[in-house]
Amino acid sequence: MNRYDDRARLVFHYAREEGSRLGHSMIGPEHLLLGLMREGGTAARILQEYGASLEAMRRMVEELVGRGEGSRTGEPPAITPRARRVMELASAEARNMGASVIGTEHILLGIIREGDGIAYRILSHFAKDVDAIRWRILSMAEGREREKPVNTPFLDEYGRDLTKEAREGKLDPVIGRQEEINRVIQILARRTKNNPVLIGDPGVGKTAIVEGLAQAIVEGRVPPILR
């Protein structure tokens, strides 16, 4: 798939402008990231949720890459192999999600999957867990179905709906337990042997881990199978 929607095509236009502004003769994933922010579509809105801004990203690109002398031939900047790889990955992401065209969110997914470059470092600055951005995109793409009321008197009497409490902001933030929460998520997402057991004395933080899991589910920071 190599069909881009109008917004995605605009991203490439802006990326070239950003590269030219910095005097760069090649366009890499970091310029695509700037293009995404300038375009202001789905990808930009998601990044803004993590505190990202165009000006902040521009400063980081300039700090990490520096300024260049521009193209001596006067031709537009060319695409680097890493940027081409991002485009290939964006195409694969769109195909996997059943999209008929490549959008800005697929380009952002491509940058995340390409990984380990300047653009990824910039994303890591705003989102300590870059995979959370990925799950946020997938969550938006799937759309949220409204929860239907379920008659569960036994569970209502003896249990707590932690996802409901998380959604209503009734749970305190969970600090310092991300490793355990991630491990629980990994186990729950397995096809087999997917029943985690939390063992420990009272007061060691077992409930906090489960509350952290509920918050991750509500915020879309888990695989689709757990939503």
pLDDT of residue 144: 39
pLDDT tens figures, 158-188: 788 888 888 877 888 888 889 899 889 988 8
pLDDT tens figures, 76-92: 778 999 999 999 999 99
Q: Give me the average pLDDT of each 10-residue run along the chain (227 residues).
A: 84 93 91 94 88 92 85 74 94 88 93 90 88 83 51 75 83 88 88 85 89 86 76
pLDDT of residue 226: 78
pTM of the predicted model, to two decimals? 0.62
pLDDT of residue 77: 76
pLDDT of residue 227: 67
The closest of 199, 163, 173, 172 to 184, measured between CA atoms, is 199
Q: Tell me the DSSP string of 75-101.
A: PPPEEPHHHHHHHHHHHHHHHHTT-SS
Residue given tokens 């789905």 in the structure block: 42
Q: Which domains does the chain have, with CATH numbers?
A: 6-142 (1.10.1780.10), 153-222 (3.40.50.300)
pLDDT of residue 105: 92
Q: Is 220 left (phi over 0), alpha (psi -120 to 50) or beta?
A: left
Q: Tell me the DSSP string of 141-205.
A: HH-PPPPPP---HHHHHH---HHHHHHTT-SPPP-S-HHHHHHHHHHHTSSSS--------TTSS
Any idea what DSSP says for residue 72? T
Contact 220, 143 (CB under 8 A): no
